[in-house]
Amino acid sequence: MARVTQADVARAAGTSMAVVSYVVNGGPRPVAEATRQRVLAAIEQTGYRPDGVARALVGGSTMTLGLIVPDIANEFFAELAAAVEQAARAAGRTVLLANSEGDASTELDLLDTFLQRRIDGLVIVSQAPAAADRLLNRAKTRHVFLGAAPESAASIGVDNFGGAVAATRHLLEHGHSRIAAIAGPAGDHVAEARLAGWRHAVAARPTAGRVRFVQHPFTVTGGYDAALALLNPSPLAPGGPASGASIFGRSGPAGARVRPQAVFASSDRQAIGLLRAAADLGLSVPDDLAVVTFDGSSISAYAVPALTTIQQPIAEMAELAVRQLIDPDPQPLRAVLEVGLVVRRSCGCPPAHL
């Protein structure tokens, strides 16, 4: 079907294209109310919709923002996307969402596509922040990074290190001395900060003797595989720990693994995989194994048992990001937001504490 134009509306309303333009754009000249109603009726009759790109060329704005995340199937990013969309809608903007699948090349291709669509600004959880920043600066497109970002770019992050310290200390306060960690992938900005926080907490306590971490993706499968590596009592392979793992001390006959008393999981999705692995191995959480995780996505409250987690301020992150993109004169932004511990059953706290 041919696209309906302002000329079609003008013919249906019995008026000029200029008058139709004045009604659609709210000016620059006034239109008599009777004529305005006739034009509005013609718009309804013909199904006319304004050309967003054409209006952007005239007005300099598409009223559209972009959002790129690495994994929209991840509940945290899904909730973040919903919060960004809500904040943008409240400001009269529409959001285009894209999934980079955690791949830097895919991310840069998506950036090109968004720039062709003349977005007004972009919120991005980037896999290649330096390259993304250069491309967006050349295009003179406003942008804000969530997480890893070049030093000169606007960014919003959370205290990943401090949150991991708080999560691990909570497990230490339960009296556990063997607290393992399921970390995110090596080289990932967020994963490394959370791993460093866990290291800091366990190293500060002289009772934290035999501890171990395994690095896997921020996925349910990653958490499951990591948990099997941590919890399975089979002896270590000759020559040391498995690939991607590190041990701070060990004990037991013939170098057998000592099962941790507690685990800090670096993401809620990993923690879900950990719960399944523990069940498959016949372990009860929290009776045999205490668990604390990081993210605070909605699934953490509905796991069995409900997960004690480090809560990220998703709504605040979204509102700050949208404001940075739409404010006429935004201030330089390098925000690091506080996180909080939400205590539930998986850490072993008694019901009265919840």
Q: Please report which confidence band the pLDDT of residue 233 belongs to, taking 50, 70 and 90 as the band edges.
A: low
**Using CA atoms, how far apart are residues 271 and 292, in angstroms rounded to an integer?**
8
**Over residues 45-49, mean pLDDT:** 86
Q: Please report which confidence band the pLDDT of residue 206 belongs to, taking 50, 70 and 90 as the band edges.
A: low
Quote the pTM value.
Answer: 0.79
Mean pLDDT of the chain: 87
Q: Please report which confidence band the pLDDT of residue 257 belongs to, taking 50, 70 and 90 as the band edges.
A: low
State the amino acid at position 78 in one-letter form. A
**Using CA atoms, how far apart are residues 5 and 48, in angstroms rounded to an integer?**
7
**Over residues 91-112, mean pLDDT:** 94
- Residues contacting 142, CB < 8 A, separation 6+: 120, 121, 122, 136, 324, 325, 330
Note the pLDDT of residue 285.
96
Note the pLDDT of residue 255.
45
- DSSP state at residue 211: E
Dihedral sign from CA coordinates of 100, 147, 73, 271 = positive
The token duo for 102 is 């955690």
Q: What domains are defined for the chain? A: 6-50 (1.10.260.40), 61-153 (3.40.50.2300), 160-312+341-353 (3.40.50.2300)
Q: What is the pLDDT of residues 317-327, one digit of tens each?
A: 999 999 999 99
SS3 content of the chain, % helix, strand, coil (to 5): 45, 15, 40
Note the pLDDT of residue 25.
75
Contact yes or no for 81/97 (Cβ under 8 A)? yes
Q: Is pLDDT at 238 greater than 60 in this prediction?
A: no
**Over residues 10-24, mean pLDDT:** 89
Structure-token match 């079609």, residue found: 8
Note the pLDDT of residue 331.
81
Dihedral sign from CA coordinates of 163, 169, 173, 174 = positive
Structure-token match 């090596």, residue found: 186
**Over residues 244-273, mean pLDDT:** 71
**Over residues 215-233, mean pLDDT:** 93
**Over residues 285-305, mean pLDDT:** 95
Q: Is pLDDT at 212 greater than 70 in this prediction?
A: yes
The order of strands in the sheet holding 179-183 is: 245-248, 211-215, 179-183, 262-265, 290-295, 308-311, 340-342
Q: How much of the chain exceeds pLDDT 70, in percent?
A: 87
Q: Please report which confidence band the pLDDT of residue 52 belongs to, taking 50, 70 and 90 as the band edges.
A: low
Q: What is the pLDDT of residues 107-137, one digit of tens each?
A: 999 999 998 888 999 999 999 999 999 999 9
| Cis geometry, peptide bond prior to residue 30 (ω within 30 degrees of 0) | no
Note the pLDDT of residue 59.
54
Q: What is the pLDDT of residues 330-352, one digit of tens each?
A: 887 899 999 999 999 999 997 65
Question: Which of the pair, 206 or 331, is modelled with greater confidence?
Answer: 331
The token duo for 69 is 């995340």
Q: Please report which confidence band the pLDDT of residue 262 belongs to, taking 50, 70 and 90 as the band edges.
A: very high
**Using CA atoms, how far apart are residues 109 and 101, in angstroms rounded to an integer?**
12
Angle, vertex CA 254, rays to CA 249 and CA 260, nearest 5: 45
**Over residues 156-172, mean pLDDT:** 96
Contact yes or no for 121/143 (Cβ under 8 A)? yes
